[in-house]
Structure 1
Amino acid sequence: MTPTSVVYATKASIDKPARELFAVVTVKDRPTTAVAGAESAPIDGGGWQWVAPDGQAISGTDGNASNVVLEGFQGNPTTQPGTFSWGTQAFDITTAQRGGTLIYTDGTGVAHRWKVPAQDAGPQAAQVRKALAG
């Protein structure tokens, strides 16, 4: 899984964040082994977190983030070897929490970290903005 773009938005279609912004990150899911890949779930001790510049960890289930669903970025529960799918992770944050670090903890408990810019960035940003507009 590789995060590729981030977009900050004050709404997603008709949904508004409980805080101030949605941080929407596109993720390219592509298995790197001969076995189909699947994301680890928070219930299994895995999944995604947004870590704000002040260190606060934010789950994708906080606020209204789970209401953000984008056409063309729904992902695939099990991506087969030799293929990829696009997904998103959304976080309900305050303006001061822009930027920071995105963490994905896999099924073995290993945390993978990516620095996230504090402004919209990445090759899918325009497509995400369009999808967020509804």
Structure 2
Amino acid sequence: MKRKKIVLLIFTAFLGVGLLAACSQQNHNKKEEVALTAEEKKELRKQEEALALFLVNNFEDVNKIEFKTISKGGFGKPRFIDFLINDKVDVSTDLSDKYDIEDYGLVYHNNSEMLKRKSIPTTFENLSETQLKVTYYEEK
């Protein structure tokens, strides 16, 4: 009888620890400051510029983008970036996305309206060709 109680207690402890560990992994709504190396900052800027160019070329009325937060990513997890379009459309995406109009991933937050695709995309190759105002993550 005493042995059954010990086994039950150990099982309950393992279950509790497992539950706590699983819950701690679900911090996708928690925003953290991410420290970046100089190399990571350069790579992040390239990714932000590619994303901004993709958005301005393929979606209507994209006039302003503010990159707000990035996630840490980590082992087996992509690095995500949260950004605001025209001060009202709250979106996030995987920074390793290839930004192919036929296969891309934008996640809309806070009941944001969805961006409307252009019927004929523009072909800007540089952000300097556009009227887009961009606030990069490292400039905040």
Shorter-chain TM-score range: under 0.3
* TM-score of the two chains, using structure 1 as the length reference: 0.27
Which structure shows the higher helix fraction?
Answer: 2
TM-score, scaled to structure 2? 0.26
Structure index of larger Rg: 2
Greater relative contact order structure (CA < 8 Å, 6+ sep): 1
Which of the two has greater strand per residue?
Answer: 1
